[in-house]
Amino acid sequence: MKMVVWDWNGTLLDDVEVCIETVNAMLRRRHLPQLESVDQYQNVFTFPVINYYRQVGFDLERESFEALSTEYMRGYHERAVRCGLFADAEPGIRQLREQGVPSLILSASRQDHLRMQTEQCGCTDWFSDLIGISDIYAREKLSAAQAWLKQNPQPDREMIMIGDSLHDAEVAEALGWDCILIDRGHQSRKLLVTSGKPVVSDILEAVALISASISAG
């Protein structure tokens, strides 16, 4: 039996533009160069997020990462109410469910923020569980996955991570999960292909790969 573990931001939630707007507002306040395109953003975004902040020009010798994170999250959530799911999220997850494949979310978002956003999008009930982290610093999500697996062992499940970042591939690798990456989220195809994992352009393409493996038996 398979189970799909979805990343949230940039994989199911279409929030890349909002993330760019948020960081650009912070850069403007500091008279720093702004990100000029999605492509530029996708090639500098990384985990842990503190490294991304350095990449875009914040001076972490003068400002604390914690203060920057608080400012970022305030601006992000003000804008993120405009965000919705990618149009193919619901049909993709429905198709998996019809094939007996349940879904859950594993996110580097704080747990309460993750639930708030899934409720805003009306999709909380699509998932068997929501796994977030305990703070706003988006350092990593492997430990959250490990804690969940300790409480919810899945010895008979073939776990498949679907995400939009190299960190998703790293988490999957560490846990022995399969992984499919989608290139329209927070990191570019150029970066994602370095993982050696399959890289697709949308959710339905990812679901088709899973469906094909089910058919192959």
Query: Can you give the pLDDT at residue 130?
Result: 98
Q: What CATH number has the domain spanning 2-14+84-216?
A: 3.40.50.1000
Mean pLDDT of 183-194: 98
Mean pLDDT of 193-217: 94
**Residue 9 carries which DSSP code?**
B
| CB of 162 closer than 8 Å to CB of 127 | no
For the four alpha carbons of 85, 50, 5 and 207, in that order, the dihedral sign comes to positive
Query: Can you give the pLDDT at residue 144?
Result: 95
| CB of 168 closer than 8 Å to CB of 5 | no
Query: Can you give the pLDDT at residue 137?
Result: 75
Query: Can you give the pLDDT at residue 48?
Result: 92
Percent of the chain with pLDDT over 90: 94
Mean pLDDT of 143-170: 96
**Residue 19 carries which DSSP code?**
H
Percent of the chain with pLDDT over 70: 100
| CB of 16 closer than 8 Å to CB of 86 | no
Give the confidence band of 214 by pLDDT, cuts at 50, 70, 90.
Answer: confident
Domain ranges, ordered by start, for the chain: 2-14+84-216, 16-80
Residue-wise pLDDT tens digits, 102-143: 999 999 999 999 999 999 999 999 999 999 999 887 889 999
